[in-house]
Each structure stands twice: as C-alpha cells, then as structure tokens.
Structure 1
Amino acid sequence: MNKVPASVWKNPIHFLAFGLGSGAAPWAPGTFGTLAAVIPYFWFQQLSLPWYLLMLVVTTLIGIWLCDRTSKDIGVHDHGGIVWDEFVGFWITMTLAPAGVLWIVIGFVLFRLFDIIKPWPIKWADQKVSGGLGVMLDDVIAGIFAAIVLQCIAFFWL
C-alpha cells in the first residue's frame, strides 16, 4: 500500500480524488471508498433517469481530471487511495437499481467483486490505459458489468 500523502488533507483536488478522505483508510481503501459512495447515492437515487445519467457523465469527466491531476501531483499512477473511480463505478452499478438497502448491498458486493477480480476487459483497461482515463476506465467498466448483473438479479427476483 502506498503511503497517504499529506496533501490529501490540504488540497481539495486530492481530497476529492481520495473520496473525501475515505481512500486514506489504512487497509482496503477501495472498499472504504465504495462504502463512502453509498452516502451521496441516497440523494442521487431520487433523481430522474436523465438527471442521474447526466450526473454520471459529469462525475466521470470530473473524475478523469481529478484522478489524473492527483496522480501527477503525488507521483503515483493510480494510488490505491485514489477512490473517486470507485465512487463513480458504484453509482454506475446502481443505475436503475430497485429501491431499498438490500439492493444497495447487492450492488456494493457486485461492484467490489468485479473491481477486485477484474475479468477482461476490466483488467486490460487497468493495465493498458494510462492517466486519469486509465484510473477511471476499469471502474466504469466494472460498474457496467455489475449493473448488468444487478438488473438480471432484479428481473428474476422481482
């Protein structure tokens, strides 16, 4: 695990990239980052689909910039504590998810599984794409995969 730079607590760009500080967790920062992403999701889930999709586009584009800038500033590409990508990946997972805490837990578990296991093309994106786009892309794809599985579970369960 990379040491958490002091700038996380001083630089607002780094603070956001580190998921409002959740990525500074001493172990499993990606899991803590995803857990922190649940809090704003409670508000986001109330948005209509067009507004939710707009939020995803905006947070993804901001994330590419945040992650690129923070990686360059601290000199570590995709530092484990940079978890803005987990925020967005989880929010992608939860697109059109049924309401309820159970579905949040299922979405959380599915996203973490895809993010950790990294089946193709997630692993390819993680290894081959650089910069802020590279930091974000594997989690965006993991979020899409998790969303598809979540929707399948909801279709057959409900």
Structure 2
Amino acid sequence: MKGSCGLLSKIIATVFFIGYIPFAPGTFGSLAGLIFIWIFKPDFLQQIVILAVGFILGIASSQVVEEELGTKDSKQIVIDEFIGYMASIIFLPLTIGYVITAFLLFRFFDILKPPPIRNLERMFSGGIGVMIDDLTAGVITNIILQIVRLV
C-alpha cells in the first residue's frame, strides 16, 4: 500500500515520526503518551475512545508499515507503546504519582515481557502482533496500580 495511505500509516505507526528517534524509540513513544495524558487530562470516556480508536488504528497502520519496511515489529513503530501506556493509566487519577508510576511500570513490563506478554507477542503476527503485547503490558500495569489504589 503506497502513497497517502502509506504516509498516513507511517505518521500513525511512528506517532508523528517519534519512532525515528535513533535511541530508545519505544520509551519516547511511551513518553509521548505520558505527555499527552498530562497536557490534555482526558476524562474516562475520552480515555476509552482514545484507547479503542488508537488500538484499531495501531493495528492497521502497523500492518502497513511492517509490510512497507519488510520487518516484524520494527523499532520505528511506537503506536503500540503509546496505546500501551494509555491502557496503563486508564481509570486512574491523573496525578503526577500515577502518571509517572504507570510509565515506569509499563516500560518495565514492555521491555522485560514476562509471560503472558511474550507468549502473545509470539502467538500473533502483523498489526495485531505489534499491538497486543504492549496492550497487555498496559493492562497488567493498570491492574497493579488499581490494586495499589485500593490498598
């Protein structure tokens, strides 16, 4: 898929070309999510919409960019980290403590990829494969923070 669809997919998949930062692009993709959350402070409904639409767009754009680049889960694709971070903070108070703790925990799980995260990464390919492991890392992070919040 070439042309404007390819360019639009590249803009989405690389989160406005953040994925081309030569070092730690995944961390910068997650950091973009943190900055987005901190600046806009979306309410719960907006968070759900961002997460759902972002996940779907992430699957589609990652698929196109993966095919264009000819690599599996290219480092330039960081929409997965952006959306994974969104999942890590959803339904939590958007205070500095939660925002930063979610970022650190999410990066920990995204980099370490303990089971079931690694299993999902291996189980799926294409755009869903790119997105599912980071979404899972975000959900695990969120569950931990929800438990901490209740304690």
Alignment-derived partner of residue 106 in structure 2 = 111
Query: Is 2:78 the partner of 1:90?
Result: no
Looking at structure 1, the residues matched to 103 and 18 of structure 2 have their Cα atoms a distance apart, in angstroms, of: 16
Aligned 8 A contact 1:30 1:86 in 2 = yes
Match of residue 3 from structure 1: none
Relative to the length of structure 1, the TM-score reads 0.86
Supply the RMSD in Å over aligned alpha carbons: 1.8
**Structure 2 residue matching 1:11: 3-state secondary structure:** helix
Task: Return 97-106 or 50-59, whichever deviates more.
Answer: 50-59
CA distance in 2, matches of 1:140, 1:46: 19
Q: What are structure 1's unaligned runs of at least 5 residues?
A: 1-6
Q: How many residues align?
A: 147
**Contact 1:34–1:108, Cα closer than 8 Å, also in 2:** yes
Q: Deviations over 1:93-147 (max 9, x none)?
A: 0011122112111000010011011111100111221010000000011110000
- Letter aligned with residue 98 of structure 1: P
Does the 8 A contact of 2:47 with 2:86 survive in 1? no
Question: 1:41, CA displacement in angstroms?
Answer: 1.7
- Corresponding residue of 1:39: 35
Instruction: Give aligned-pair identity as a percent.
Output: 34
Deviation at 1:14, TM superposition (A): 0.8
